[in-house]
């Protein structure tokens, strides 16, 4: 009950603040972002001390090494936070942009204006730099934010929250424009995702379990990113060098990212020619190969892929490989097993490439490029709050524009309907 009251209070405050942030000039928002950077710079000792407390508590409670690594902040981490704020301040402000303003036969002008969503709730895990990153993207896009970081980062997040408040107030913006939860009580998340009167959208950032739980229980709209089961299809008409380069890069550039290739599809006509050299290159990097029966005729070292493999996001040095008859079978496989994140075709054939681009229903569809390019920075969004695999509102990397929508604006001169 106490948590409910607390969250309701935060929600009410955020709703009020959201109207002021939505109306704020670009210059004011940028000044706030730079003032937050100044505050982070000035309070770095405080932040590092708070972080050290979190890390010590994490060690004492037996947090695993990967989580501890993501939790820990150092001088470079602080510099990264400051740099991120400067970059977001430099991005173009999407709010208020009017497009397609045209005269209609009635004489009115009708157009669309880009507007903030309102109040955004963000739920994330251990990395404390997300606190500032999420705050900066919400603020620049004219939204109020309620942030709920991992309980293991509570002291770091509170220290960063103090900097955010300081920056907001210095620029004349309401301190409730960004509120970081002061509690680690898990019930707070349950409240946050079920108060549509105060929160317009929730963005969960973290493991699949967290996102599934939130999607299931939320009554507020969720912008979510589940798996990244990405495919590269090497077509009959693929260039051999490009096929090798893209397959190796898409799998091995980084193993733990959502835009990493998990399944390689290859046309039967090219399998015997190309699979051995691809396998050699992957083998040299220690990638385990799991193949369909035809693959295993060509690659003796590959283990048998189960049906489960085709639907698994390994996030590891493992690749499943399937030989397909042609682009039709490749697209059928993708339609069945892909998580609709990113798929790429390697082909020199104009018609096949054009078809793949239109017919594959994923948030990013590529020709002759590594799936690793599916990223807000690579796409020129400047920053991203996540990669949406949903079908409506925002698909793919979600930047500032993904945190806004459009309303209609109508300009008349006393016009009435006949």
Q: Are strands 396-398 and 386-388 parallel, antiparallel or unpaired?
A: antiparallel
DSSP state of 302: P
In the bound state with a copy of itself, the residue whose beta carbon lies nearer, of 318 and 367, is 367
Give the residue from 115, 116, 119 showing the smallest Cα distance to 195: 119
Stretch that binds a copy of itself, among 51-59, 128-136, 279-287, 372-380 (CB under 8 A): 372-380
| Contact between 399 and a copy of itself per CB under 8 A | no
Using the rule CB under 8 A, which residue among 41, 175, 239, 288 binds a copy of itself?
239
Q: Could you give the CA distance from residue 361 to residue 332 in angstroms, rounded to a whole number?
A: 11
Buried b (16+ CB within 10 A) or exposed e, 309-318: bbbbbbbeeb
Instruction: Tell me the residue length of the chain.
Output: 418
CB of 250 to a copy of itself, least distance (A): 8
Q: Does residue 99 bind a copy of itself (CB under 8 A)?
A: no
Residue 277 contacts a copy of itself per CB under 8 A: no
Q: Which of 396, 398, 399, 400 binds a copy of itself (CB under 8 A)?
A: 396
Helix (H) or strand (E) holding 37: helix 26-42
Closer to a copy of itself by CB, 158 or 363: give it.
Answer: 363
Nearer to a copy of itself, 267 or 366 (CB): 366
Report angle CA 370, 376, 379 to the nearest 5 degrees. Answer: 60
Least distance from a copy of itself to the Cβ atom of residue 332, Å: 9
Which residues from 108-127 bind a copy of itself, rule CB under 8 A? 108, 110, 113, 115, 117-118
Binding pattern for the stretch 199-218 against a copy of itself, x by CB under 8 A and - elsewhere: -xx-----------------
Q: Spell 173-192 as b/e; 16+ CB within 10 A means b.
A: bbebbbbbbeeeeeebbbbb
Choosing from 241, 286, 300, 307, the residue that interacts with a copy of itself (CB under 8 A) is 241
**Please, which residue, 4 or 253, has the CB nearer to a copy of itself?**
253
Q: Contacting a copy of itself (CB under 8 A), which of 49, 66, 325, 411?
A: 411
Helix axes 268-284, 240-252, angle to 10 degrees: 50
């Amino acid at each position: 009950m106490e948590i409910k009251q607390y969250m309701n209070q935060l929600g009410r405050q955020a709703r009020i603040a959201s109207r002021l942030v939505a109306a704020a000039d670009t210059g004011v928002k940028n000044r706030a972002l730079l003032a937050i950077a100044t505050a982070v710079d000035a309070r770095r000792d405080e932040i590092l001390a708070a972080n050290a407390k979190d890390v010590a508590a994490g060690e004492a409670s037996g947090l695993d090494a990967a989580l501890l690594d993501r939790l820990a902040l150092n001088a470079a981490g602080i510099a990264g936070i400051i740099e991120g704020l400067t970059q977001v301040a430099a991005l173009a402000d999407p709010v208020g942009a009017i497009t397609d303003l045209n005269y209609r036969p009635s004489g009115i002008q009708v157009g669309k204006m880009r507007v903030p969503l309102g109040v955004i709730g963000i739920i994330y895990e251990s990395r404390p730099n997300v606190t500032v990153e999420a705050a900066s993207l919400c603020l620049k896009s004219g939204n109020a934010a309620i942030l709920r970081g991992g309980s293991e980062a509570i002291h770091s997040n509170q220290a960063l929250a103090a900097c955010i408040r300081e920056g907001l107030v210095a620029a004349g913006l309401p301190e409730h424009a960004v509120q970081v939860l002061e509690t680690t009580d898990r019930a707070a998340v349950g409240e946050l995702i079920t108060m549509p009167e105060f929160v317009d959208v929730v963005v969960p950032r973290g493991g699949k379990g967290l996102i599934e739980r939130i999607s299931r229980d939320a009554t507020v709209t969720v912008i979510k990113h589940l798996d990244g089961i990405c495919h590269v299809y090497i077509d009959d008409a693929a260039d051999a060098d490009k096929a090798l380069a893209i397959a190796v890069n898409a799998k091995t550039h980084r193993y733990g990212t959502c835009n990493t290739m998990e399944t390689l599809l290859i046309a039967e006509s090219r399998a015997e020619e190309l699979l051995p050299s691809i396998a050699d290159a992957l083998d040299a990097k220690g990638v385990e190969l799991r193949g369909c029966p035809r693959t295993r005729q060509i690659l003796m070292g590959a283990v048998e892929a189960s049906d489960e493999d085709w639907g698994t996001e390994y996030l590891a040095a493992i690749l499943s490989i399937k030989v397909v008859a042609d682009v039709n079978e490749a697209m059928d496989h993708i339609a069945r097993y892909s998580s609709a994140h990113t798929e790429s075709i390697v082909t020199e054939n104009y018609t096949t490439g054009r078809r793949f681009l239109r017919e594959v229903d994923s948030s990013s569809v590529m020709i002759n490029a590594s799936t690793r390019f599916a990223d807000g920075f690579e796409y020129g969004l400047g920053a991203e709050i996540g990669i949406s695999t949903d079908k409506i509102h925002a698909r793919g990397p979600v930047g500032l524009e993904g945190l806004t929508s459009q309303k209609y604006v109508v300009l008349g001169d006393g016009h009435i309907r006949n």
